[in-house]
Copies of this chain bind each other. A is one copy, B any other.
Amino acid sequence: MLKKNVNKIKVMALGGLGEIGKNMTVIEYRDEIIVIDAGLSFPEDEMLGVDIVIPDITYLVKNRDKIKGIFITHGHEDHIGALPYVLKKINVPIYGSKLSIGLIQVKLKEHKMNNVRLNVVDPRQVIKLDNMEVEFIRNNHSIPDACSIAVHTDEGIIYHTGDFKIDLTPISGDVMDMHRICELSEKGVILMLADSTNAERPGSTMSEKTVGVGLDDLFRKAENSRIIVATFASNIHRLQQIMNTAGHFNRKVAISGRSMVNVVSVAKELGYLEIPDDMLIDLNDIGKYQDHELVLITTGSQGEPMSALARMASSDHKKVEIKSGDLVIISAHPIPGNEKSISKVINFLFEKGAEVVYDDADIHVSGHACQEELKLMHRLVRPKFFMPAHGEYRMLKKHSEIAQELGMNEENIFVMQTGDVLELDKNSARVSGRIPTGNILVDGLGVGDVGNIVLRDRKHLSEDGLMIVVVTISKEEGRVLAGPDIISRGFVYVRESEDLMDGAKAIIKQVLKECEDKNIKEWAYLKNNIKENLKEYLYQKTKRNPMILPIIMEV
A interface residues, Cβ below 8 angstroms from B: 18, 44-45, 48-49, 336-337, 339-340, 343, 346-347, 350-351, 356, 392-394, 397, 443-446, 449-451, 453-455, 457-466, 468, 470, 472, 481-483, 485, 487, 489-493, 496-497, 541-544, 547, 549, 551, 553-555
Contacts and interface: CB of A to CB of B under 8 A. Distances in A.
State the number of copies, please: 2
A21 B339 CA distance: 17
A466 to B, nearest CB: 7
A337 B343 CA distance: 10
A280 to B, nearest CB: 32
Given A350-B393, A443-B542, A461-B461, 14 more contacts: A48-B462, A49-B490, A337-B339, A350-B397, A446-B492, A446-B544, A450-B493, A454-B465, A454-B490, A458-B462, A470-B470, A481-B555, A482-B554, A485-B553
A452 to B, nearest CB: 10
B553 A48 contact: no
Contact of A394 (B356, B454, B543): B356
B443 A544 contact: yes
Contacts of A454: 465, 490-493
Given A339-B337, A445-B543, A48 B554 contact: no
A424 to B, nearest CB: 24
A458 B465 CA distance: 6
Nearest to A451: B493
Contact of A18 (B44, B347, B397, B482): B347
Interface of A is mostly: mixed
26 contacts: A49-B462, A49-B463, A49-B464, A49-B490, A336-B339, A346-B394, A347-B392, A351-B393, A443-B542, A444-B542, A445-B543, A445-B544, A446-B543, A449-B496, A450-B492, A450-B493, A451-B493, A458-B463, A459-B462, A466-B466, A468-B549, A472-B482, A485-B551, A487-B551, A489-B549, A553-B553
A466 B546 CA distance: 14
Given A49-B464, A350-B394, A394-B356, A493 B445 contact: no
A489 B551 contact: no
Contacts of A49: 462-465, 490, 544
Contacts of A549: 468, 487, 489
B347 A336 contact: no
A343 B347 contact: no
